[in-house]
A and B are shown apart, each in its own frame.
Chain A
Amino acid sequence: MSTFVKFIIDGKICLSEEGKQLIEAAKENDIYIPTLCNYPGIPPKGSCRICTVLINNRPATACTTKVTENMDIKTSTPELEDFRKAVIELLFSEGNHFCPSCERSGNCELQALAYRYKIAVSRFPYFFPERSVESWHPKLIKDHNRCILCKRCIRGIKNNDGKTIFAYGRRGQYLEINIDPETSKNISDELAEQAMNICPVGAILVKERGFITPIGKRKYDYNIIGSEIENQ
């Protein structure tokens, strides 16, 4: 039997199993901690830093931290909120995020977070990097313009042999996530679909479709990201 621990999030007394990922533990207690790189069911990475919270007044990522007894967690001080906004704005400045022409618009988690924080413009200059679109794969399109390098696809998508399909290529500011032509050659339609859905943005797309859901019926058209947790 697992032990339950008591901890405090934003002044609210919470209960959860000991050793549970803080993001999940908060979710159980109807508290939403914003995140981009975390995905339920795959090992946390802590790469986007958006889930940064204060644990006993020290900043730490909520996806890689496990809950322990008497933890005092603050999720939304003005500094944290501004920090989170800055990270989202940096992601918008760093890549080429042309929402009006993106197939994922309305279902995109990066965009949904920007809506949640009402970010109208990035405080950083737009970088407009030169990036390519790989459309030669049999089932998938990889758009490097939109990739935020969260590594969800690398961590979450494996082919029938358990081999990874996505991998990092190049280094530093040229870092990109590539599709392995060998392991991705014979993937099923379901796996291709899964790869598209695991991507928080529109960087991985299944070929020959797009803009299926009309404006007004998309995931984040009327629902704020995280509201499904907060309004329980």
Chain B
Amino acid sequence: MTKNKKIIATTSLAGCFGCHMSFLDIDERIINLIELVEFNKSPINDIKKFTKHCDIGIIEGGCCNDENIHVLREFRKNCDILISLGECAIMGGLPAMRNGIPLKECLEEAYINGPTVKDVNSQKIIPCDPDIPKILNKVYPCHEIVKIDYFLPGCPPRADLIWNALYALVTGNELLIPYEVFKYD
């Protein structure tokens, strides 16, 4: 039976983990899910690296730094189907609200001029250690970096939408999207 199980990997890039939380909101259906699928790299089971090729990769969050891009490309390489889960993966979401502001201004506000930092950062340091992922000029939707096969909107996507989509994808049944589960907020 294990042989036929589809393998799923998930990740959270520039997201808040809300989409993963919503994923867990499928409640007891997770027992049905675990009959159908096996999880590989994912924060849910804490597997850090791909140990085999996966059928489905679920991406939460857009790309705001170079590490996000690296992980997203890894997912594209290791997964047959990629799903953008939630507004941030689809269009940048709330992190992309910085896209209209020049990056320099963002960093200065966060580390030098902001009310909680201006008195403590007397040397006016903006962190730039090589170990820290480099922040990108903008937050990019995932499909502008790699090919994405499916999009599930919502902030977070309703648990029923995630369940319906995964179930349809894994079993090959038709996907039904009731109006009330297809939302942007």
Instruction: Please give, as numbers and ranges, the residues of chain A lying within 8 Å of B185 by CB-CB distance.
Output: 99-100, 102, 105-106, 215
A-B pairs, top 3 by smallest CB distance, nearest first, are: A99-B184, A100-B155, A120-B151
Complex contact A111–B143 (CB within 8 A): no
* C-alpha spacing A145/B99, complex, angstroms: 12
For chain B, the count of residues having a C-beta within 8 Å of the partner chain is: 27
Tell me if A224 is interfacial: C-beta within 8 Å of chain B.
Answer: yes
Instruction: Please give, as numbers and ranges, the residues of chain A lying within 8 Å of B182 by CB-CB distance.
Output: 115, 118, 120
Interface residues on A, range: 20 to 34
Tell me if B152 is interfacial: C-beta within 8 Å of chain A.
Answer: yes
Complex contact A128–B94 (CB within 8 A): no
* C-alpha spacing A99/B182, complex, angstroms: 13
Q: How many A-B contacts if CB must be within 8 Å?
A: 68
Complex contact B99–A114 (CB within 8 A): no
Most B CB contacts (10 A, CB to CB) among A114, A118, A128, A129 go to A128
Tell me if B144 is interfacial: C-beta within 8 Å of chain A.
Answer: yes
> Chain A interface mostly helix, strand, loop or mixed?
loop
Return the CB mask of B91-128 against A: 1 if under 8 Å, else 0. Answer: 11110110111000000000000000000000000000
Output the nearest chain B residue to A132 by Cβ-Cβ distance.
B100
Complex contact B151–A121 (CB within 8 A): yes
* C-alpha spacing A80/B86, complex, angstroms: 28
Tell me if A96 is interfacial: C-beta within 8 Å of chain B.
Answer: yes
* C-alpha spacing A130/B177, complex, angstroms: 34
When A98-B93, A98-B94, A120-B153 are in contact, do A145 and B100 touch as well, CB less than 8 Å?
yes
Return the CB mask of A208-232 against B: 1 if under 8 Å, else 0. Answer: 0000000100000110100000000
Most B CB contacts (10 A, CB to CB) among A99, A118, A215 go to A99
